């Protein structure tokens, strides 16, 4: 991904990409950060920028978050953290998804905080010679990373020894929630109890970390008991509802930051019975105006959403005809005065009646996380400080 002076991150090189763009409203991103800060006023804030900041562009979002005073950023992969360092980020940064054999030395050298949830990871960190900042991870019920209840005492004891040797400093104890989006379920309370127990075991072993952290977006907004010293929201920072069954983005006071839009590359009129897209499974039932949208599943548009997703053309919602292909899909423009070059909004904040990422998630049988995160690398990102208005082609 390259960045131009104009603040664009773009995948295509050497051509003007007029077909589509993902516009990220940084004012919305900042407003969401303020909303999250207000939801957990006594905790430090970590904004999770893994997976290219949930498709919004990690480098720009990281810089924007720091400019908004966010003390912590979080990534899953070590490479994601080091890319931020290479971009000049110097703030507190945690990375948590490591694999056996991982060389932790570049992370230690770059002063990236490292999650340790297993003995092999602690040994790898100790092998660097330190000094390493470590967050010990305990599995409180999600069943993914982190030491099990049985393995926790031994991990804690080994970490304490490494701390005495001056190789590591245990700055955090942490875990991840499984059902924070469902306040009716008692599993968050059970995970909090397991977390308390793990913290007590660590204290008894002589550890005194300054940070305990557990809360994702949903818990930041819904569960103060999970806030502890630091909260780790991701999705909500980008303005999507982390608990759609509880409230919409607007209901949570969030503003979706991303608008995905394209320009119709063709409009044509066909008779009834004209087949559309691969497989000949779809045929027009009446004389139909077909609009070609130059975005496909290679750009992250879910192939299966074609049956029920809608897009907005000229402020009107229209349906998709036939399956979404790799680079393009077809919409039904019958009755609209639309021409090639007109704007098509796949999703946005929803304020002008356009579909939201949440609408696409429902149509695709998935979650909003997947809709924004899957946007492809060849799609240009453009950053504005306001809601997306006007069209700007991206030159590379």
Ligand X SMILES: Cc1ncc(COP(=O)(O)O)c(C=O)c1O
Residue stretches of the annotated binding site for substrate: 144, 326
- Contact, 116 vs 139, CB < 8 A? no
Annotated catalytic residue within 54, 137, 268, 278: 278
Shortest Å, Cβ 128 to ligand X: 22
Binding residues: 144, 326
Nearer to ligand X, 96 or 152 (CB): 96
Q: Is the dihedral of CA 265, 380, 68, 221 positive or negative?
A: positive
Nearer to ligand X, 199 or 394 (CB): 199
Shortest Å, Cβ 233 to ligand X: 4
- HSE-up (13 A, CA, CB side) for residue 231: 30
> Whose structure tokens read 């030159």?
395
Nearer to ligand X, 233 or 302 (CB): 233
Q: Is 238 annotated as catalytic? A: no
**Residues 98, 198, 36: CA angle, nearest 5 degrees:** 70
Which of 328, 393, 388, 303 has the alpha carbon at shortest distance from 354? 388
Cβ-closest position to ligand X: 234
Applying CB under 6 A, the residues found at the interface with ligand X are 48, 96, 176, 216-217, 232-236, 242
Nearer to ligand X, 81 or 311 (CB): 81
Q: Is 383 annotated as catalytic? A: no
Annotated catalytic residue within 50, 54, 238, 297: 50
279: which residues sit within 8 A by CB, 6+ positions away?
A: 322, 323
- Contact, 288 vs 336, CB < 8 A? no
Tokens of 333: 């423009």
- Contact, 145 vs 96, CB < 8 A? yes
Q: What are the catalytic residues?
A: 50, 278
């Amino acid at each position: 991904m390259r960045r131009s002076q104009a603040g664009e991150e773009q995948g295509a090189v050497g051509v003007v990409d007029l077909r589509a763009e993902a516009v990220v409203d940084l004012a919305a991103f900042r407003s969401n950060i303020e909303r999250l800060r207000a939801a957990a006023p006594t905790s430090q804030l970590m904004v999770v920028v893994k997976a290219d900041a949930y498709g919004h562009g990690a480098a720009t979002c990281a810089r924007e978050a720091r400019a908004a005073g966010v003390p912590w950023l979080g990534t899953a992969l070590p490479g994601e953290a080091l890319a931020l360092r290479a971009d000049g980020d110097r703030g507190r940064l945690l990375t948590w998804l490591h694999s056996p054999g991982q060389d932790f030395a570049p992370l230690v050298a770059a002063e990236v905080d490292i999650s340790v949830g297993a003995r092999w990871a602690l040994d790898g960190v100790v092998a660097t010679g330190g000094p390493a900042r470590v967050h010990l991870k305990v599995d409180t019920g999600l069943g993914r990373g982190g030491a099990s209840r049985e393995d926790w005492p031994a991990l804690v004891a080994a970490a304490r020894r490494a701390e005495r040797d001056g190789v590591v400093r245990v700055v955090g104890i942490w875990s991840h929630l499984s059902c924070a989006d469902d306040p009716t379920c008692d599993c968050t309370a059970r995970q909090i109890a397991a977390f308390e127990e793990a913290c007590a075991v660590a204290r008894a072993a002589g550890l005194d970390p300054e940070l305990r952290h557990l809360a994702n977006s949903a818990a930041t907004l819904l569960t103060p008991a999970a806030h502890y010293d630091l909260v780790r929201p991701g999705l909500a920072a980008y303005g999507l509802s982390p608990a759609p069954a509880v409230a919409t983005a607007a209901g949570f006071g969030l503003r979706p930051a991303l608008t995905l839009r394209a320009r119709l590359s063709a409009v044509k009129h066909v008779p009834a019975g004209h087949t559309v897209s691969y497989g000949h499974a779809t045929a027009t039932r009446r004389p139909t105006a077909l609009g070609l949208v130059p975005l496909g599943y290679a750009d992250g548009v879910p192939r299966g959403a074609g049956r029920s997703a809608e897009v907005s053309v000229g402020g009107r919602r229209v349906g998709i005809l036939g399956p979404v292909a790799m680079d393009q899909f077809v919409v039904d423009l019958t009755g609209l005065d639309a021409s090639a070059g007109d704007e098509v909004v796949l999703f946005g904040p929803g304020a002008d009646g356009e579909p939201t990422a949440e609408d696409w998630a429902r149509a695709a049988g998935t979650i909003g996380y997947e809709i924004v995160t899957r946007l492809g690398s060849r799609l240009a990102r453009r950053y504005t400080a306001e809601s997306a208005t006007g069209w700007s082609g991206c030159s590379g």
